[in-house]
Amino acid sequence: MNDTIDLIRRYCDAFNRGDWNGMLALLDEKVVHDINQEGRQVGRDRFAAYLERTSASYAEELRNVVVMANEAGTRAAAEYMVHGVYKATDEGRPLAQGQTYVLPGGAFFEVSDGRITRITRYYNLEDWLAQVRRVDVD
């Protein structure tokens, strides 16, 4: 259990540093990534492409991270507050104008042999949309 909690903390810390290679090193080659309200991707290479795409549009930091794991260390969850800047328009999303946002989020993990084998991420998309649609107009 403690090794899994440490693994998830290292994953979140690497995310906050923008250390994509550090994150990828913690993942199984066939990692399953369930993207919030977008579908499922399989494979570390696809996860790397996802990080590349999203980092072009979003600058995010996870704060107040709380990690929990089952006794066997095979499943874990992280709850956090996402503090972000919407810096470039993401396809299918509203126009980016440097809007900031803060919203609760979480991720669920499966772990095997010291690697993350599944990540299911969640945040309230409607909350995010409401925050980025608020643009101050002079």
Please report the DSSP string for 114-127 in residue order.
TEEEEEEEEE-HHH
Q: Assess if residue 91 is contained within a domain.
A: yes
Q: Assess if residue 138 is contained within a domain.
A: no
In this structure, how many other beta carbons lie within 10 angstroms of the beta carbon of residue 95? 11
**What is the distance between the alpha carbons of residues 135 and 47, in angstroms, rounded to a whole number?**
31
Q: Assess if residue 105 is contained within a domain.
A: yes
Tokens at residue 106, please? 């979480």
**Residue 138's pLDDT is what?**
41
Q: Domain residues for 110?
A: 2-133
Q: Assess if residue 114 is contained within a domain.
A: yes
- Kindly report, residue by residue over 69-101, the tens digit of the pLDDT: 999 999 999 999 999 999 999 988 999 999 999
Q: Which amino acid is it at 36?
A: N
Which CA distances in Å does 31 have to 41, 46, 63, 75, 134? 8, 9, 24, 14, 36
Record the pTM: 0.91
Q: Assess if residue 70 is contained within a domain.
A: yes
Q: Assess if residue 35 is contained within a domain.
A: yes
Number of domains composing the chain:
1
Q: Where are the beta strands (DSSP E) in the chain?
A: 27-35, 39-42, 58-69, 75-86, 99-112, 115-123
**Residue 101's pLDDT is what?**
96
Q: Assess if residue 24 is contained within a domain.
A: yes
Q: Assess if residue 37 is contained within a domain.
A: yes
In the predicted model, residues of the chain with pLDDT beneath 50 are: 137-138
**What is the distance between the alpha carbons of residues 28 and 14, in angstroms, rounded to a whole number?**
16
CATH number for the domain spanning 71: value is: 3.10.450.50
